[in-house]
Chains A and B, each alone.
Chain A
Amino acid sequence: MADHTKARKLFETEITRKAVIESFKKLTPGHMIKNPVMFTVYVGSILTTGLWIQALAGKGEAAPGFIFAVSLWLWFTVLFANFAEAMAEGRGKAQADTLRKSRQEVKAKKLAKPDKNAKATEVLSGDLRKGDVVLVEAGDFIPADGEVVVGVAMVDESAITGESAPVVRESGGDRSAVTGGTRVISDWLVVQVSSNPGESFLDRMISMVEGAKRQKTPNEIALNILLAALTIVFLVVCATLLPFSIFSVFVSGSGQVVTVTVLVALFVCLAPTTIGGLLSAIGIAGMDRMIQANVIAMSGRAVEAAGDVDVLLLDKTGTITLGNRQATELIPASGVDVKDLAEAAQLSSLSDETPEGRSIVVLAKEKYGLRGHDIQDLKATFVPFTAQTRMSGVDIGKRAIRKGAAEAIEKYVKEEGGKYPEDVRTGVEAISRRGGTPLVVAEGKKVLGVIHLKDIVKGGIQERFAELRRMGIKTVMITGDNPLTAAAIAAEAGVDDFLAQATPEAKLKLIRESQAGGRLVAMAGDGTNDAPALAQADVAVAMNTGTQAAKEAGNMVDLDSNPTKLIEVVKIGKQLLMTRGSLTTFSIANDVAKYFAIIPAAFALTYPELNALNIMRLATPQSAILSAVIFNAVIIVFLVPLALKGVQYRPASASRLLRDNFIIYGLGGIIVPFVGIKAIDLILVALGLVK
């Protein structure tokens, strides 16, 4: 699946060829009945074919050539709709095939108990059941989805994510989930299998992509009902025209009753075949676009809900800010030289391998000209950070340098018999207020000063939030920071709201409250502690690097593990609905021109005066009817690219979008067929196909 980041070409020859074959295979009644609108066209095609055969036998209601032409184009209408669906499915299948390649039967070392040294038996990956424990060593494929129970290893997940850099997988924590089909490239893992064959993550992905398990989404159902209702109305309109015509001939004493062929043609033109034929293609294509964005949606419903999202919950770290904070400033306590502070800060951070620690070393070096020391030369002992002390530092001989959170250092200094200076306290508060994280440095009982660690807001994120605001989506930043810090970062990043000191419970509560207010909530998460909130959110994007629990709770998985992807997801959801709405409008608006083409033609013999309605000046009644039918069929093919790519979406207010789309697809839908039908009529006349 290495090519999934590239957009697939619209009409790949192979896919197109298969789609053409498929569109004929789909002509069975069993398949056609699933789409009520196209089913009526199907029945109409069969009916006119019958009339043609009758005409050939010499008992026809009109010239056999004319009935044949109408019948042929009705069949084309059905085939074109099938083709659209087959194209969309074909593109999905192509995706699925690349996925499937990564799922091969491999040999697995099944362990008797979750211990590396336990007795191992060789089994095939297909025989593994949920709860089995396997050993995976360097070079082995991971046989099934599972949870790492023992061990740490580098895993190549490029088969799933397309990302070539290997990732770390280890037991416990948020990086314990492994996916079947990926490969361990160093060390070993003991994995507990979490799914039965056929139910794995990959299996679900494949079936989603193939559209095999595609169920109609709520919105699609609602639209289908409307389309079915319109179809019934037009059926009645056309069916009653027969008695109306009989009566008109009776009272006017001239002309001839309208033929069934013409009525079927009129019906097919009026029924919303354009949207009816493209509807399933639009749905499949929407899912396909998600996959191209490297997001696997577990249901079409989730894709659709994405378009409706009102509130977006975003984790601060990694989404709004760069993953790590950086030291930007040193503030010495009164009476302390800034160089002394810088040296102490540097020493305390030498063996601190966190990004924050490294940034302190860099700051001391670059801003205060301190050369780096080697911790070995100093004969220093490193004091690691623990949750109890909430400090780290070094002991060099008698020097004990500590750095940590303000409260922790204050406690430490006081225990040592020292005093916590007032100006350090104000310095700490000032940093917090500005959204920074203060780290206080002390040597023995003396407080040296404060290091200012700053969150770096990602470039361009402000514009994205402004975009979301225009779309009517409220953004909420979730962070474990204190409210002061959170407020400052929220202001800098331009989010609408924030949740500070967020616990899993607080997140869940926030989501529930928003939902109770009628809002739809989207969030991204990766940790097990995110799982309850993910399960509660309407659109929940789990990071692929996240835990199994998070993936199970979410309804989408982002293979790139990029939380900002949520914005993409929302766009795709909206685009899906917009494509449906716009094509519905277009389809219905088309009917106006078709009436002007067919009605004068159908009653030309009874009421020649009605030719005044033939404003397109179509050559003959037969060419008028044929032109309308041909236009109706051909427009489906012309709109296939639009259905597959989706209507263009720009972030703008609802009123603006409506105005633009109403003009393009509503007014355009009225005008285009006038032009198209006239053009087809001219061609038919030029080719001498109609008298």
Chain B
Amino acid sequence: MTTNQWTQIGFFFVLLLLLVKPLGWYMARVYEHKPFFLGKWFGWLERLVYKICGVRPEEEMDWKGYALAMLIFNVVGGLILYAIERLQNHLPLNPAGQSAVPPDLAMNTAISFITNTNWQNYGGESTMSYFTQMAGLAVHNFLSAASGMATLAAFIRGFARKETKLLGNFWVDMTRTTLYILMPICVAIALALISRGIPQTFSNYPSATLVQPTSYDQPVTNAQGTPVTVDGKPQVTHVAVTEQSLAVGPVASQIAIKQFGTNGGGFYNANSANPYENPDPLTDLIEMLALLVVGFALCYTFGVMVGDKRQGWAVLFAMLLLLVPMVFLCVHSEQAGNPLLNHLTVGKEGASLNDGNMEGKEVRFGIVNSGLWATITTGTSCGAVNSMHDSFTPLGGFVPLWMLMLGEVAPGGVGSGLYVMIIFAIVAVFVAGLMVGRTPEYLGKKIQSYEMKMASLVILIPPMAILALTAIGVVTDAGRAGVSNPGAHGFSEILYAFTSQVANNGSAFAGLNGNTPFYNLMGSVAMWFGRFWLAIPCLAIAGSLARKKIVPQSSGTLPTHTVLFIIMLVSTVLIVGALTFFPALALGPIVEHLKMIHF
């Protein structure tokens, strides 16, 4: 790795950490109902929303009420999204004349967007109308992000409060998250992106005259559509192309929330590798910061809300320890390239291929920004891509897969990442607490069998779902049919697909053809479990913790803000991830890598 690469990665993380405190503080104000400037300006709007929806903001809910509200909201939202997709040919704002989305794809997409996954088995510009993109997908980009953050707010209140059943009002948390956090910041991000030339329009796809006209041979087909051959040779006609149709639309607004809300569902099929989504290094930097900042800032919010900022910083540093080494591994592996190709040269000038693995990467981002992006997009539940993970070297591709397998906790999806990370902290505290001879406590709350039961569910379900679905994928013909690459890489593709969906990430090893009824259906199951089967036990823990007293600290209490505890927490996440996925990884990326270097 070069100095330039170190500097770029260092610069990015410094910038990120500078944003943590102000944003974290601001979000804490929002969730603690303390005064702040936007609240003064838009308070009327907030109250208006409550009035229209019939919400009584002062009525708080217990964990069951909160979880039920969250579930109902998401199920209804998903049904509406499904309806929009199926009926988009009858709805307005469809200048490109997109037809109705097929039922299996529509279901997969609906669940994908309500679960903050944004797994895309479709190409946006060739499948979805403007109306579906805006009123359907972009709206759910906001709502699924807000839903995760609201759940987190309730979860944190479980620690902050004592001897109460109440965790807050879901509708209020949703409204305030959207109105005061997501909307204003996304407007700012969208404006910044528009200033760099990202389209934001309702107009039809324009045509552009090509500077360099191109041509290709088109096969001649008969009336039945089968190619005509003469003497076994296919007949072709020469076609000259002078014009190109440019897919545009309300792009910038959707990119802003897809990054900031860790959704990841691109406007275009190529996602942020497409120049209209991510034209230059500056937009790349903005988009990377946007996708990571909320996850980290929420740690600070957590610290403020539980009344001990050190706790928030400890979790944040644990996340950094999980994330940053992987960034280096990814960039390093991509820079090292493929030893089988490194000695070769291409072109008249004899350019060396020994300059890293550039397959599937955009030249304007290079290796460092592709590797960095791939790591953070999988460390969060974003899943937006600016390069093709399928083309990474085995170890380079191992990194995004590994980040997904850790359960999206470094820092994970907005809200959801932190609450799962805190579950890991609870497990770490449990084992550590036993080792010091005391019934474990975290933030003054005793961790007992009910908490362990729920925490076990949270840690159990994702690996079970991933491994079981992958197993079904590799033994059924329908599952094997989607694989495009031979050998161990084919296994990695299927494993990655299900890991990504269970983890609610949405990025893919694009080599897998996922738009089949099999993958649409299995993927829907994966995403649904990955989201709600974790959120519900988390809320149950919050409900149980809120009822407990807060045990005062003493020197017999295990401090949870020390370096030792951070190491303990990181070890727990790594051990759970490694022990669960080591065999699968060995049969995928590890054997790929070993085959490559032993070839």
The reply to whether A251 and B431 contact each other, CB–CB distance below 8 Å, is: no
Chain B contacts of A665 at CB under 8 A?
435
A655 smallest CB distance to B (angstroms): 6
Given A242, A581, A655, which contacts B434 in the complex, CB threshold below 8 Å? A581
CB contacts under 8 Å to B, within A222-278, are 222-223, 225-226, 228-229, 232-234, 236-237, 239-248, 250-252, 266, 270
The reply to whether A662 and B564 contact each other, CB–CB distance below 8 Å, is: yes
Known: A251-B491, A649-B437, A666-B571. A226 touches B430 (CB 8 A): yes
The reply to whether B435 and A222 contact each other, CB–CB distance below 8 Å, is: no
0/1 string, A585-622, CB within 8 A of B gives 1 = 10011011001000100010001011011000000000
0/1 string, B442-476, CB within 8 A of A gives 1 = 00100111011101110110011001101110110
- Residue of A at shortest CB range from B554? A472
Residue B206 at the chain A interface, CB threshold 8 Å:
no
Residue A7 at the chain B interface, CB threshold 8 Å:
no
Residue A161 at the chain B interface, CB threshold 8 Å:
no
B435 smallest CB distance to A (angstroms): 4
Given A228, A243, A469, A473, which contacts B475 in the complex, CB threshold below 8 Å? A243
The reply to whether B552 and A654 contact each other, CB–CB distance below 8 Å, is: no
The reply to whether B555 and A654 contact each other, CB–CB distance below 8 Å, is: yes
**Residue among A240, A595, A610, A613 facing the most chain B CB atoms (10 A cut-off):** A240
Given B431, B437, B448, B586, which contacts A574 in the complex, CB threshold below 8 Å? B437
Q: How many residues on the B side are at the interface (Cβ–Cβ under 8 A)? A: 68
Chain B contacts of A574 at CB under 8 A?
436-438
Residue A575 at the chain B interface, CB threshold 8 Å:
yes
Known: A244-B583, A657-B437, A658-B568. A237 touches B562 (CB 8 A): no
B415 smallest CB distance to A (angstroms): 24
Residue B91 at the chain A interface, CB threshold 8 Å:
no
Residue B587 at the chain A interface, CB threshold 8 Å:
yes
The reply to whether A588 and B579 contact each other, CB–CB distance below 8 Å, is: yes
Known: A236-B463, A251-B486, A581-B432. A655 touches B558 (CB 8 A): yes
- Residue of A at shortest CB range from B585? A599
**Residue among B439, B444, B475, B488 facing the most chain A CB atoms (10 A cut-off):** B439
Chain B contacts of A592 at CB under 8 A?
578-579
B93 smallest CB distance to A (angstroms): 44
Residue A671 at the chain B interface, CB threshold 8 Å:
no
Residue A474 at the chain B interface, CB threshold 8 Å:
yes
| CA of A101 to CA of B431, assembled, Å | 42
Question: Which one of A8-16, A185-193, A409-417, A511-519 is at the interface?
Answer: A511-519
B595 smallest CB distance to A (angstroms): 5
Given A221, A226, A613, A658, which contacts B427 in the complex, CB threshold below 8 Å? A226
Residue A684 at the chain B interface, CB threshold 8 Å:
no
Residue B580 at the chain A interface, CB threshold 8 Å:
yes
A421 smallest CB distance to B (angstroms): 49
The reply to whether A247 and B474 contact each other, CB–CB distance below 8 Å, is: yes
The reply to whether B435 and A233 contact each other, CB–CB distance below 8 Å, is: no
Chain B contacts of A599 at CB under 8 A?
582-583, 586
Tally inter-chain residue pairs, CB-CB below 8 A: 216
Given B435, B436, B439, B487, which contacts A252 in the complex, CB threshold below 8 Å? B487
The reply to whether A610 and B486 contact each other, CB–CB distance below 8 Å, is: no
The reply to whether B590 and A610 contact each other, CB–CB distance below 8 Å, is: yes
A666 smallest CB distance to B (angstroms): 7
Residue A653 at the chain B interface, CB threshold 8 Å:
yes
Residue A573 at the chain B interface, CB threshold 8 Å:
yes
B343 smallest CB distance to A (angstroms): 21
The reply to whether A609 and B598 contact each other, CB–CB distance below 8 Å, is: yes
Chain B contacts of A236 at CB under 8 A?
463-464, 467-468
Residue A352 at the chain B interface, CB threshold 8 Å:
no
| CA of A266 to CA of B579, assembled, Å | 12
CB contacts under 8 Å to B, within A455-495, are 469-474
Given A603, A607, A658, which contacts B564 in the complex, CB threshold below 8 Å? A658
| CA of A474 to CA of B554, assembled, Å | 9
**Residue among B430, B449, B549, B550 facing the most chain A CB atoms (10 A cut-off):** B449
Given A240, A588, A655, A662, which contacts B470 in the complex, CB threshold below 8 Å? A240
Chain B contacts of A170 at CB under 8 A?
none
| CA of A118 to CA of B500, assembled, Å | 87
Known: A252-B488, A519-B552. A657 touches B435 (CB 8 A): yes
Residue B575 at the chain A interface, CB threshold 8 Å:
yes
| CA of A588 to CA of B583, assembled, Å | 16
Known: A225-B449, A613-B586. A517 touches B438 (CB 8 A): no
The reply to whether B582 and A232 contact each other, CB–CB distance below 8 Å, is: no
- Residue of B at shortest CB range from A310? B554
The reply to whether B471 and A243 contact each other, CB–CB distance below 8 Å, is: yes
B222 smallest CB distance to A (angstroms): 38
B585 smallest CB distance to A (angstroms): 10
The reply to whether B564 and A659 contact each other, CB–CB distance below 8 Å, is: yes
Residue B15 at the chain A interface, CB threshold 8 Å:
no
CB contacts under 8 Å to B, within A626-669, are 649, 653-655, 657-659, 661-662, 665-666
Residue B557 at the chain A interface, CB threshold 8 Å:
yes
Known: A229-B459, A613-B586. A240 touches B468 (CB 8 A): yes
Chain A contacts of B45 at CB under 8 A?
none
Chain B contacts of A649 at CB under 8 A?
437
> B residues within 8 Å of A by Cβ?
427, 430-439, 444, 447-449, 451-453, 455-457, 459-460, 463-464, 467-468, 470-472, 474-475, 480, 486-488, 490-491, 549-552, 554-559, 562, 564-565, 567-568, 571, 575, 578-580, 582-584, 586-587, 590-591, 594-595, 598
**20 A–B contact pairs at CB < 8 A?**
A218-B439, A226-B427, A229-B457, A236-B464, A240-B471, A244-B491, A308-B439, A310-B551, A469-B555, A518-B444, A518-B550, A518-B551, A582-B434, A589-B575, A592-B579, A603-B586, A610-B586, A649-B437, A659-B564, A662-B432
Task: Please give 16 more A-B residue pairs, beta carbons under 8 A apart, in addition to A251-B486, A517-B552, A519-B552.
Answer: A232-B464, A236-B468, A243-B472, A243-B475, A270-B579, A307-B437, A471-B555, A472-B557, A473-B554, A578-B435, A595-B583, A610-B590, A612-B598, A653-B555, A654-B557, A661-B436
* Interchain residue pairs A-B with the least CB separation, the first 5: A472-B556, A581-B434, A574-B437, A229-B456, A247-B474
